[in-house]
Amino acid sequence: MATTVPVRDDFESHFFDEVGRLVVAAGRVEYVLKLCLKQLLGKGFTAGMLEAEKVRHLSRLCDEVEKYAKQTLNNQQRANFCPLIDRIKALAEQRNDTVHALWTTTDSREPLRVRPQKKGKKNSKSVDWSKTKIVSLYELREVRRQLEDAYASLQCQRKTWVKT
């Protein structure tokens, strides 16, 4: 991988719109997960949100919500809820790849995501470039749609829980 990446802004129409919509959809999912955690903990709004705000990463928030769901929900509710949390964890990774990348375009104006990550263990000196790739508007739109679906599903499922 070259050490210098030409940064260009000649993205195809609607690129910034799709990235923005994806970020907004992810924020909504994160917020409703915090509501779920508050509800599962049986805390009031302020106390529950303070507890939820202690968790700084979306994937860790999913882990916390899932942990309390397994302790609190009945078998049927868990069977519906936990697979949804697994889907959201996968979407959280895609959200991070979108937000924490350097975006540029190829010579043919295709969106190029440059996403280096540390390879291996904590003290590793290697970089993994495997997430650097061309990402189509269709792919961004699909992640956003899946996040929107997850948001709606979370809202529906938490409404079936006993109110706390």
C-beta separation of 77 from 66 below 8 A: no
Residue 5 inside a domain? The answer is no
Given a cut of 50, whether residue 164 has pLDDT beyond it is no
Is 16 inside any structural domain? Answer: no
Instruction: Please name every residue paired with 117 in a beta bridge, in sequence order, or none if there are none.
Output: 128
Distance of alpha carbon 81 from alpha carbon 59, whole angstroms: 15
User: Average pLDDT, whole number, for the chain?
Assistant: 91
- Proportion of the chain above pLDDT 70, given as a percent: 96
Q: Containing domain of residue 126, as a range?
A: 45-159
Question: Looking at residue 52, what is its pLDDT?
Answer: 86
| Structural domain contains residue 52 | yes
Number of structural domains the chain divides into: 1
Residue 107 lies in a domain: yes
Residue 31 forms part of a structural domain: no
Which of 58, 69, 67 has the alpha carbon at shortest distance from 26? Answer: 58
Which of 63-67, 109-113, 129-133 is predicted least confidently? 129-133
